[in-house]
Structure 1
């Protein structure tokens, strides 16, 4: 346990030191939140800009550094303890890199081709690529981590779970500190369920430390956003960790805030399409709905964090009860 605590501290300090010059570099590269892409799930700009327009110009590459730190510290840790890096660790790193690369592509298209569309990559193309990447990870889990006993349907199931959490995490990443704080809560809960799994605990320690350092710069008023690079990668890696630990069902409770907030956008869209333009919320996703009701951003974030803690506690309990049967 001491090893993981030390690894968390090293990851936190290493990331924290790097974030300051990294933010300056992002400003120089003009890797910043663009002005003309601030729209909600229905493509509306007016209310969304009223709520979020002040964030234009904030750097959006935080996820890049977190993934880079993970890719550096994870193999370095195994090298220092003289243990070969495991297949599990490689799959987790591959998840971060593949989904991070897709998110980076979307971030770049938003920055350099801002007139293309509100979602930059067309949603159906983005979803197809996500499913393809999730399928690759699922096949690796099936073939190399002893998941073949679940049958071939496991590949389909895990593909959908990974894609789902990548997207709901991305949707939830809309307020200063919201997604980062919920990630810290969720991955800590997964850590409680991963006792004895060296590879998973190593990944959790590195990510926990790096994202905690990022959160210092991401809480209101944010100096840095994780961007789609981080959001897609972190959502996907939560799902993969849960799949490795055989607690993918409890993850829907542990990450309950992600699930509810993400699904609110789908419900808003469905209501608008199938109910003749009627909306369930003032604006989607749900965190913006509360802002539109007059809640301050900090109030929404803190309430969602508290809800995340409650969900994590119940999710851990559910996971432990599941192991008892």
Structure 2
């Protein structure tokens, strides 16, 4: 398998990284001026939350804080700090930072917006009380790393994310949450522009600054909507990618052998001879079906 992946990585050499940073800056700028403009025009800014300002600040903070973590990784790789031992952070310490950030964000959702529930299809609203904070923390950290792991092929993570956001935008618009709907619309527009340059053969990559930030923010959007179960369905490809990597790691550690030829799952498909565009296109088609199914579950 090594020659296959060596050829793959050589083809990606020299492509600029950090497109996610541009998206974050555009989203923050446009979202930051959109709400004041609507207020000046006298438009009604409705939301399911009384504290609209807190809702906006939480979205901003999630995007920027996890983006900063990813930017650190991108800078470290670009300047080869890892190879010379400068500013090194262990994987465990980076995970700890993610958990601390996610816990803080979860506490903001719980104390400032009063979110302490999850909607389960066919059952209804289930109150979690204070247990919402660890539940939300796990969701945020998991999706942040899941999108990061998925971002390995041209247009894979960005295309899947774009389709997922369309579904969440529809849910947000249906409950008349104006700040969240505008945020998702701006994010979608920026992502579509980025995807034009990210499809095969990619001319720019998202980088960790984008994938970590977008995964965490995707989870926060699901928590704001109270539709975490629907989010798991809509984001199932992300879940599958990180699950395959975790299973592979545990198997190598405890069984001393691999379960899959390579992990995450998109590398397994490459190992079986699938071309990169074929994998990405099939993933997009599957994502469309998952999004439709997730929307159906969200209204049950």
| 3-state secondary structure, aligned to 2:200 | coil
Alpha-carbon shift at residue 54 of structure 1 (Å): 1.1
- Structure-2 residue corresponding to 1:98: 65
- Aligned residues between the structures: 275
Is the partner of 1:175 in helix, strand or coil? coil
Q: Which runs of 4+ in 1 moved over 4 A?
A: 44-47
Which residue in 1 is equivalent to 2:194? 214
Distance 1:213 1:281 in 2: 35
Q: Which residues in structure 2 correspond to 1:28-107 (within 5 Å)?
A: 47-82=4-39, 86-107=53-74
Unpaired segments ≥5 residues, structure 2: 46-51, 117-126
3-state secondary structure, aligned to 1:161: helix
**Equivalences for residues 16-27 of structure 1 within 5 A:** none
1:51, CA displacement in angstroms?
2.6
The alignment status of 1:281 with 2:283, answered yes or no, reads no
Indicate conservation of the 8 Å contact 1:51/1:291, yes or no. Answer: no
TM-score by length of 1: 0.81
Is 1:131 the counterpart of 2:99 in the alignment?
Answer: yes
250, 266, 269: which is aligned to 2:230?
250
**Residue pairs, 1:110-149, within 5 angstroms:** 110-112=77-79, 113-115=81-83, 121-148=89-116
1:204 aligns with one of 179, 184, 187? 184
Is this contact kept in 2: 1:106–1:121, CA < 8 A?
no
* Contact in 1 for aligned 2:35/2:179 (Cα 8 Å): no
Q: What do the CA deviations read for 1:5-54 (whole angstroms, capped 9, x no partner)?
A: xxxxxxxxxxxxxxxxxxxxxxxxxxxxxxxxxxxxxxx96653233221
TM-score between the two structures when normalised by the length of structure 2: 0.88
Query: Would the aligned equivalents of 1:172 and 1:179 in 2 still touch at CA under 8 Å?
Result: yes
Runs of 5+ unmatched residues, structure 1 = 1-43
* Shift of residue 136, structure 1, vs aligned partner: 1.2
Contact preservation (8 Å) 1:86, 1:199? no
Could you tell me which residue of structure 2 aligns to residue 189 of structure 1? Answer: 167
